[in-house]
Structure formats: C-alpha cells, structure tokens
Structure 1
C-alpha cells in the first residue's frame, strides 16, 4: 500500500460516516420525520401550518400555535430496505495496495445492509405573554445506520456505517400583529460517527474502525404570515452546522498486512487519532396553506437543502501523515410536496400528501458510501382528539427510491479499495405516532 493510498483509505473511513448509505428515508442522510402531523401530508405546509407546535422544527415562529403550556411527543419507526447486487469487484492492484496484484472478490451481495431506526422528537411550548411563546425541542436532524458485513464483495469500500446528530433547541416566537409572527432558536448539536471498512488484500486482510464525535451550534429563523384570512404563508431557515470531529482509528488483524507492507518499504497501518471538519447543510423551507372550505385545507412546501456545503472532506491526522481530501460532489437540492387536510368531524382530522425528494448525489461520485437516488413519498395520516387537552396523531409514509448503479474503477480515491460495479434497489416504510397534550 502506498503512502497516498493509505491516506485515502483513512479518508474513506470518515467519509462513510457522513454518507450514511443506510439513509433510505430522506435524500442524502437527512431525517425528515420530526412530526407525525407533518408526515401525514408529506411535509406539505411544514413551515406554515397552524395545526400544532411540532411544525416549529421548520419554522420557530410556529411555537405560537400554542395558547397554553403544551407538550408534543413524536416517534417515527423507519424501516428501510436496500438490496445490493454486485456485478463485479476486484481488490486494488500491486501499485495501489500491496504485493499480490489484482484479486477478484466475487459477487457476494447483501440484502440486509440497513437497520430499522426509531427517530424521536419532543417539543415543549410555554406562553410567557399573550404575544410571546418560549419553546424547547429535541430532534435528530441527521442519521441512520447500516452494516454491509465483512464478507460482501465491496467490503474494501465500506462495511459498517453509523451517524447520529441530536439537536436541542431553545426558541422564542413573537406575534407582531394579527397577521404576522416571527421566531428564532439557538441549537446545541451533538454528533457521533461510527464506521468501518476492510483493508489490505484477500491474502492479508484486516479491519479498520473509526469512532468520532463533536458538539457544535446552529440556529433557526422563521416568519409566519396570514395576509388574508385562510391563507397562511411560512418561511423557515435552519443554519449550517460546523463540526470538528475528533476520534480514533483502530485496526484489527493487520499483522500479516503490516508485515507485507514493511517488506515492501511502505508505511504500516497503525492506530492513531484523527480529526476532520464537516459542515452539515442548511435547510430553507417555504410553505403555503390555503383553506379551500371550512373543512378542507390545501398545503404546499418547497424545501432547499444546502448539500453543496459537503463538497469535500479534509482530514488531519495527528501523526506524521499529511492531510487527505475526499470528494463528495454533493449538490444543493429541492424537496417539493403537496397535501390535503380534511376535518372529518370535531374529533377526527385526516391527511394525505405526496412529495418528490431529490438526491444530492451525482452519478460521477456515487459510491458504496452514497448509493443515493431520487425519492417519491406517499403519505397518509390523521389526528384523533381524545378531549380538549389531548390528541393522538398517526402517519404512514411509503418512500419509493430510484434504482441506481455504483461503478468505481479503482483509480484516484479508490486506489486502495479496488473496483466495484453494483446495482441498488431501495425503499422505505415509515410509521409515526404522536401525542399532543395541553395543560
């Protein structure tokens, strides 16, 4: 293994953490189920709805939906599916890895590479005056996990992946007039990544594993307008979040590999510490709600995620190794949704919606770390009022994901990982429930 390819391998390990190959629910590695209510309309009206305080995730001004102390607790059980068919895979050649030359790795695939995940959300609103509400919320903006296993043919590209970003927000919302409100929040983000990949070549194969974490800060701003009774417009912005991850890279079963590298005069794989800077993207949400009748509401949302902030990953090793750079090539993308809300009775409200969620991954840079495709959501849901103080909400979303192919030629950043040609078929089902309680 050359010095440069060793650096590239370690860079690829950290890259897996932010790629989140298991994120079958939302484009990139975002998680968008922060409200069972919003999920019922596929997030249509997310920044404008007057339904409850959970919409404050997309627009903090919507904490004003609370007229008394209110708690909203939501949970989404995400059940992703990803079938991988490997057409061909080869280890790196002697120049890219170590003595031994190119070795075919077979076509062993995996149909169980993503994990079911529970995504919780919690909101608390406390009116401090007739015009001002203070709010606290706990969300998981980015995450999911997956495990290809150590035996699949693409194991030098990725095996285990995990990422979790937990955000605690403190917000204030203020009503400027009968038709205009504003809000803002500050957020504390704690993120952790876990990832792994096989290293070396078939006759001398080991495992590389990394864990890293960091705490950072972000903010959100929002405005809610009702210029005409029955027409609600909302605009919300969640900022980028800059993380400086620090962690450890550890190797297992690399004695034989290090022996071969030493004989070849190449640097060995040694446990060390690592740091890297990653900027999680901003999210801009524009929504409109229109009362069509006394019982029927039409909702629309356009959401832009600034994935371009993750164009590359630059890693600094706390050793004599130089910085390494890995290209993502993510592009800013839009999410669009439309939904209907129908007040069936005083106790029961029904919802449905459809959405198009565009992937930030381009064909040029798609890999086993980012086997991402465009998505279409189909959602339905409802709310049942138990009494004047308590209601239960449910939602179901089916996510259809475009089939994609990964074709890596074993050059450049894949010099130490070899070639991979694989096809991906993915989908997801999401079940959400919530309870809203006023005191």
Structure 2
C-alpha cells in the first residue's frame, strides 16, 4: 500500500510556486520594486512622475516626457541590501496531541536569508515633430523581483529554502503635448518573468501519519476500542521508525523553475496648471503570465523503505501550468517649484494586489492533483513626501520620507513573505558638471518592525517565530544629453 499523506497530494510543487510568487521583503510592498531611478530614490520617490529632469518617466508615465528635455540616455543601478534573520519559537512535527510523534523539527534558524541584489534600469528619449511636441522613448527596468535563500537543513526547510523571482520589462513609449500644459502618453512593454525555488519535503511524516491513520481506522472497523486502535497506530509508527521512516528522517526535496513572456501597458496624463507646478496621473496594467512549461524536479527519499511506500506516479519529475497575474497600480504625483532653490514633491500610489493574489491554481502534468492556493493579499498604499534644494548651479540636494504598506497579514505571512509595513528615510545628491552630463546618487534606509509567523506545512508540521528584518538601498545614475 502507498502511504502518501493527503496533505502532500495538494502538491508540494503548487505550494512551491505559490511561495515563489509571494516572496519579498525590502523595496516596495511584497516583491514590487520601485528602484528605477537614483534621483527618485533620493527623495523617497516623491514626485516620481511629475518632477523635472528624470528620464525614468519613460517607463512610469510617458506623458511626463516633456519634463525631461531633449535627446538623452539615462542609466541607473540600485543595490538593495536586505536582511531576514529568523528566530524560532517552536518547530514541531505533525501529531502533537494526536497520531504522530509531535517531536521537534531539527535544524537551525537558516542564517541570514537576505542578500545584496543589483537592480538595473536604462532609458532613452527623443522629442520629434513640429515644435518637438511629440516624444518617443525606450525603457528597460525591473518592476518586480526578489531572492531569498536559507540553509538547506534549516528548521523551516519544509516551508521554503530558495526563492528567486525576476520580472524584466522592455518598453516603447509615446506621448503628445497638446500644449505646454497638457500631455498624454502611453507605453507598451514586454515582460519576461522567471521563477526558481526549492523546498524540502517531509516524507517521513507523510508516510508515518498516513500509515497510523489507516491502521487505526482498520482496527476500529474490526471492533477495537479507541485505546486499542491508538495502540495499533503506535505499533505501526514504531515499526516504520525502526526502518528509518519517521518525521524528519526521510526528507526529500523539490526544485521548480518556469518562465513566460507577457505584454502590459502604461497610460498617463500630465497637467501643469502653472509653469511651476506639475500634476501627473498614471496607470500601469496588470500582467497575466501563463506559465505552460514549468519544470519540477523531485528528489525522493534515499531510504528504500520510504521510497517504496510512495506512489510511483507522484513525486516524479514533471511539468506544470499556472497563471500568475502581477498586479496593476495607479499613482498621483505632484511637484511644485517654490522658488529658484526649493522644489517640493508628493506621491501617492495604490497597488491592486487583491484581485491578482487572492488565489493561484496549478495544473500538473503528473498524477498529482491540481491545487488552488489562497493568498489573501490586500491592496496597498504608498505615500511619500520629498524636497530638492539647489545648492549651486551644479549641485542639488534631496531628501524624502515615505510610508510603504505591506499586502500581507499575520494570517498569511510565511518564510517566503517575511514582509511588513515599513517607513523610508531617503537622501540624495545630484551633480551636473556640464550641460550634457548629470550624475545622481540616492540612499534609503527602511525602518521596520519584527514580523511574526505561525505556519503549518503541507505535511502538518508547525513553525512559529519572528524575523529581524532590515533594508538599505543605494543607487547611482548617469544622464547624457546629445
């Protein structure tokens, strides 16, 4: 008889894909990235689509291309340093208070799951037409991405070991200036999404608990008392344990990967009620990725007894399909030049996580059942205030603060989403040594609280604890006009 626990039939592969798609901590909420401009980072992205002189609007709001001047190329590079140190409060195998051992899960806290991640971006802009009232741009940026990796034998290995997600956009933009005060713009982009992740599988618990349940049910059906049925189940557990089939003693592992190309768009309007004030409205569409050729590799337990008790048509290398929808977002951005030295900015944006990440359904090519996974993400708000001070004709100082809301809650946070609402404090400086070249630098420190998790794995083991999380972001850019 194949003792494959019903929990595992919901599919470790499905849970792995789900975890990867929900990964994240630093930068914007969950795995959304805002780090597309060193100039914007220096003021916490206040005025992100309404300020003068930042070519990143080619991607974020094409209607504002009239604010960046003539022909130019801009390249940005951000380095995101984030840390995620877990401290366990409890980690136990399935069965506490019932069938099973209820013993502690072995392993450490996993080390620092964070890393230093580079985030590049590049923009090209050229005006054309009569009075140069039309604009064309090309952009390359990374709007979503994250990577975490724990020690392979850590205490939370059944919930996740490695997560790596990237979404890279290549876009073309166009805008039209109705007059010097009103502009409309749009862009179309191709987005390439890649996912890779791994997790351990507790086959020892799955097999042992299923065998005990079946033995107890059979004993009760044959007239045994509950106490006698429990004793039969315990005997089965001891027999399997003697053969190395017990919680934590017959681990396997799965690794999955997948990629897809999909198309999205950005719409924008920029209004200038006066020559010193800009108000920009922009909308980025959701992007639906249909992953049809995902790969799943399973490492079955080396114990021959455990391996023999698993179904031969499950936990085998296979492919899978899933539809992943990255969320839409909308923003309002305001910039006002108070005088020759001071400019103030504000931004507010809303990301529609809830429609995109209520659930994901995964279809497997193998005999494993499909899975429908609940995420419960909430929509989020990002609010920032910033200012620039022109210290001299060649040097500009920047600063800003922001409130960045997480889509996760205590009920849904896990090791792949140690995410929490955070506050930004940002500084920056710009240097323009000539009319053709401009350099910008930005720095942001993220202030966070310590998020907690309370999880149950597919095989029923529990994990409780807290994270010590933190993040710093440093960015630099060069803008060349030609």
**TM-score range with shorter-chain normalisation?**
over 0.9
* Correspondence for 1:44: 46
- CA deviations 1:108-158 (Å, max 9, x no partner) are 213421121000000000112210110000000111211012111111001
1:35-434 pair list within 5 angstroms: 35-93=37-95, 101-106=101-106, 108-129=108-129, 130-200=132-202, 201=204, 202-245=248-291, 246-256=293-303, 259-260=305-306, 262-263=308-309, 268-308=314-354, 309-408=356-455, 410=456, 414-416=457-459, 418-434=461-477
Distance between the aligned counterparts of 1:310 and 1:248, measured in 2?
Answer: 22
- CA deviations 1:396-419 (Å, max 9, x no partner) are 0101122110012x3xxx332511
* Correspondence for 1:29: 31
Distance between the aligned counterparts of 1:16 and 1:91, measured in 2?
Answer: 20
Q: Is the 8 A contact 2:300 2:315 kept in 1?
A: no
The root-mean-square deviation of aligned C-alpha atoms, in Å, is 2.0
Residues 428 and 356 of structure 1, relative CA distance in 2, 3 Å threshold: same
Distance between the aligned counterparts of 1:291 and 1:68, measured in 2?
Answer: 21
Q: Secondary structure in 2 aligned to 1:109?
A: coil
Residues 313 and 160 of structure 1, relative CA distance in 2, 3 Å threshold: same
Q: Is the 8 A contact 2:23 2:147 kept in 1?
A: yes
Q: Is the 8 A contact 1:204 1:254 kept in 2?
A: yes
Q: Is the 8 A contact 1:340 1:352 kept in 2?
A: yes
Deviation at 1:67, TM superposition (A): 3.4
Q: Secondary structure in 2 aligned to 1:15?
A: helix
- CA deviations 1:179-219 (Å, max 9, x no partner) are 11111000100010000000124110111100111110100
Q: Secondary structure in 2 aligned to 1:20?
A: coil
Please state which structure has a larger fraction of its residues in strand.
Answer: 1
* Correspondence for 2:12: 9
Q: Is the 8 A contact 1:377 1:400 kept in 2?
A: yes
Deviation at 1:8, TM superposition (A): 3.6
Distance between the aligned counterparts of 2:342 and 2:69, measured in 1?
Answer: 23
- CA deviations 1:354-406 (Å, max 9, x no partner) are 00000000121111121110010100001100200001000001011221100
Most deviating of 427-436 and 316-325:
316-325
Please state which structure has a larger fraction of its residues in helix.
Answer: 2
Residues 376 and 144 of structure 1, relative CA distance in 2, 3 Å threshold: same
Q: Is the 8 A contact 1:163 1:194 kept in 2?
A: yes
Distance between the aligned counterparts of 1:261 and 1:364, measured in 2?
Answer: 34
Distance between the aligned counterparts of 2:308 and 2:369, measured in 1?
Answer: 20
Deviation at 1:91, TM superposition (A): 2.8
Q: Secondary structure in 2 aligned to 1:17?
A: helix
Distance between the aligned counterparts of 1:50 and 1:66, measured in 2?
Answer: 6
Q: Secondary structure in 2 aligned to 1:56?
A: helix
Which is greater in Rg?
2
Deviation at 1:93, TM superposition (A): 4.4
Residues 292 and 104 of structure 1, relative CA distance in 2, 3 Å threshold: same
Most deviating of 317-326 and 123-132:
317-326
Distance between the aligned counterparts of 1:265 and 1:60, measured in 2?
Answer: 55
Deviation at 1:295, TM superposition (A): 1.2
Q: Secondary structure in 1 aligned to 2:115?
A: coil
Q: Secondary structure in 2 aligned to 1:330?
A: coil
Q: Is the 8 A contact 1:8 1:416 kept in 2?
A: no
Q: Is the 8 A contact 1:87 1:107 kept in 2?
A: no
Q: Secondary structure in 2 aligned to 1:112?
A: coil
Deviation at 1:160, TM superposition (A): 0.5
Number of positions where the alignment pairs a residue of Structure 1 with one of Structure 2: 431
Deviation at 1:232, TM superposition (A): 0.9
Distance between the aligned counterparts of 1:116 and 1:315, measured in 2?
Answer: 31
Distance between the aligned counterparts of 1:417 and 1:159, measured in 2?
Answer: 18
